[in-house]
Amino acid sequence: MNQATDFDNSLIENVYKIVSQKDLKYFIKTWGCQMNEHDSEKIEGMLEHMGYMPAPDEKHADIVVFNTCCVRENAELKVYGHIGALKHLKRRNPDMIICVCGCMTQQKQISEYIKKTYPFVDIVIGTHNTHILPELVQKVLKNQSPIVSVWDKESGIVERMPVKREKGVKAWVTVMYGCDNFCTYCIVPYVRGRERSRRIEDITEEIKLLGQQGYKEITLLGQNVNSYGKDLGGKVDFADLLYQVDKIEQIERIRFITSHPKDLSDRLIYAMRDCDKVCEQLHLPIQSGSSAILKKMNRRYTKEQYLELVDKVRKEIPGVAISTDIIVGFPGETDQDFNETIDVIKRVKYDSAFTFIYSKRSGTPAAKMQNQIDEDTKHERLYRLIEVQTKISQQINQKLLGSTVEVLVEQVSKKNQHKVTGRTRTGKIVNFQGEKDLIGKLIKVKITNVLAHWLEGNVVK
């Protein structure tokens, strides 16, 4: 079973003595998924505890942190561009510390490449040891020599790390780390390590504190939240966790990502149905509608099993919004396979879909598969997929016209001071007339207009 340890605050105190005298500032740039965004909140928390203040951009920062993603190649290329662009800043300000961390640097060949190609980078750190950043910053502050520190193996879970969350209504909470699924296209299991679940009491303690601080909506995060608890001796599962979080008083809404279809149990579907605060929203990545491709992807379900699962979810949770991830152009994907994907999205009628072009990731089994698909075909398929899905999303949203929905107000609209923005339980953005005192409240709104990316409405008196 996993050992959890508390974050070592003494590391931070040491750096604070140096940083706080100098009025130093930080800037973080993040690529990738919500897990990465949330990791950046922890990095930000550590930096602020070290005495660093936020900077508006790289130019005004004394430490720049790039938290990277390697799920697809284009994300990686962007990161290299950004690292290269820091060279002239470093020349102007040699005391600036540059740190590159996250999923890219967890790969040995990449951390070595960064060290060689960008010698002005001071700290390269992997995903398993982000919590030792204060120690590394201290070393660099003292002797200025670059450090590459990438742990091969995952550490135990580190609890009570400082986290700097945006002030507001919504907060992310990690429930588990890593992934054991090894889908053949995916690099995540190699860079995030094996599945490790946080103890239920650590999670609920964190959420209670967030409730006391005024947060109303919690999104539980994990690469595959449905596996939650398997490594905790099998006594608790994700459904148990939902029942526990549902009882926390100040919290109004609970969401979670991501679910793997093979692990979405009946117990979990019933928990979603029975817990009042768990929203009617499910992100259920299908990846492909062809059973043959799913097999090659090692997804461990067929098209038919997936469709049955969706039927079950819709039956138990009326009005549920289902979203998905789809990859086009996986090796060997024929026109017929792709047409099956189109068929599935028409049958499921997803509220939304994140669509990706297959990207070869070195070290994954799919990278070595025969029949890689040419770029033009991949782009054509993506284009067709988006076209079909956009129509479906529009039709679903159009049906909301005239209905009354519950909106959790998040903020004042950026475009109009007298309007506020929030989301429905199903995750749709709604703008309506209202002042900032509505932030954090649940308001009934009648939908009067449906636009491409959001809805408009009026408060129901």
Sole residue written with tokens 């549902």? 246
**Euclidean distance between the first and the last CA atom of the chain, given in angstroms as a whole number:** 53
Give all strands (DSSP E) within 241-320, no chain letters. Answer: 253-257, 281-283
Which helix (H) or strand (E) segment holds residue 312: the answer is helix 303-316
Among 226, 227, 359, 424, binds ligand 5AD (CB under 6 A): 359
Among 32, 102, 162, 189, binds ligand SF4 (CB under 6 A): 189
Could you write out the DSSP letters of every residue in 374-437? PHHHHHHHHHHHHHHHHHHHHHHHHTTTT-EEEEEEEEE-SS-TTEEEEE-TT--EEEEE--GG
Residue 137 or 264 with smaller CB distance to ligand SF4: 264
Residue 49 or 198 with smaller CB distance to ligand SF4: 198
Q: What share of the chain is helix, strand, coil (3-state, %, to 5)?
A: 40, 20, 40
Question: Could you say whether residue 228 binds ligand 5AD (CB under 6 A)?
Answer: no
Residue 216 or 303 with smaller CB distance to ligand SF4: 303
378 binds, among ligand 5AD, ligand SF4, none (CB under 5 to 8 A by kind): none
358 binds, among ligand 5AD, ligand SF4, none (CB under 5 to 8 A by kind): ligand 5AD
260 binds, among ligand 5AD, ligand SF4, none (CB under 5 to 8 A by kind): ligand SF4
Stretch 297-356 residues interacting with ligand 5AD (CB under 6 A): 325, 327, 356
Q: Residues near 304 by Cβ (< 8 Å), separated by ≥ 6?
A: 291
Residue 155 or 181 with smaller CB distance to ligand SF4: 181
Residue 181 or 424 with smaller CB distance to ligand SF4: 181
Check: CB of residue 335 under 8 Å from CB of residue 290: no
359 binds, among ligand 5AD, ligand SF4, none (CB under 5 to 8 A by kind): ligand 5AD
Stretch 200-229 residues interacting with ligand SF4 (CB under 6 A): 223-224
Question: Could you say whether residue 287 binds ligand 5AD (CB under 6 A)?
Answer: yes
Q: Rounded to whole angstroms, how far apart are CA atoms 57 and 242?
A: 39
Stretch 92-151 residues interacting with ligand SF4 (CB under 6 A): none
Among 361, 378, 381, 423, binds ligand 5AD (CB under 6 A): 361
Residue 267 three-state SS: helix
Question: Could you say whether residue 134 binds ligand 5AD (CB under 6 A)?
Answer: no
- Selection from 269, 231, 433 nearest residue 446 by Cα: 433
361 binds, among ligand SF4, ligand 5AD, none (CB under 5 to 8 A by kind): ligand 5AD
Number of residues that bind ligand SF4 (CB under 6 A): 10
Number of residues that bind ligand 5AD (CB under 6 A): 12
Among 13, 182, 363, 383, binds ligand SF4 (CB under 6 A): 182
Tokens of residue 237, six digits: 């599962």
Q: Rounded to whole angstroms, how far apart are CA atoms 284 and 349?
A: 12
What single-letter DSSP state applies at residue 216? -
What Å distances lie between residue 116 and 64, 84, 121, 130, 317, CA to CA? 19, 12, 10, 21, 53
Residue 86 or 186 with smaller CB distance to ligand SF4: 186
CA angle 54, 55, 56 (to 5 degrees): 120
Q: How far is the CB of 110 from ligand 5AD (least distance, A)?
A: 15
Taking the CA atoms of 426, 328, 385 and 336 in sequence, report the sign of the dihedral they define: negative
Q: Which residue is nearest to ligand 5AD (CB)?
A: 325
Among 36, 107, 130, 181, binds ligand SF4 (CB under 6 A): 181
What Å distances lie between residue 431 and 102, 322, 410, 416, 454, CA to CA? 35, 22, 10, 10, 7
The residue type found at 352 is S
179 binds, among ligand SF4, ligand 5AD, none (CB under 5 to 8 A by kind): ligand SF4
Question: Could you say whether residue 185 binds ligand 5AD (CB under 6 A)?
Answer: yes
Stretch 61-100 residues interacting with ligand 5AD (CB under 6 A): 71-72
Check: CB of residue 447 under 8 Å from CB of residue 402: yes
Task: Please give the order of strands across the beta sheet that includes 281-283.
Answer: 281-283, 321-328, 352-357
Question: Could you say whether residue 179 binds ligand SF4 (CB under 6 A)?
Answer: yes
Residue 183 or 405 with smaller CB distance to ligand SF4: 183
Instruction: Enumerate binding residues for ligand SF4 (CB under 6 A).
Output: 179, 181-183, 186, 188-189, 223-224, 260
Instruction: Enumerate binding residues for ligand 5AD (CB under 6 A).
Output: 71-72, 185-186, 285, 287, 325, 327, 356, 358-359, 361
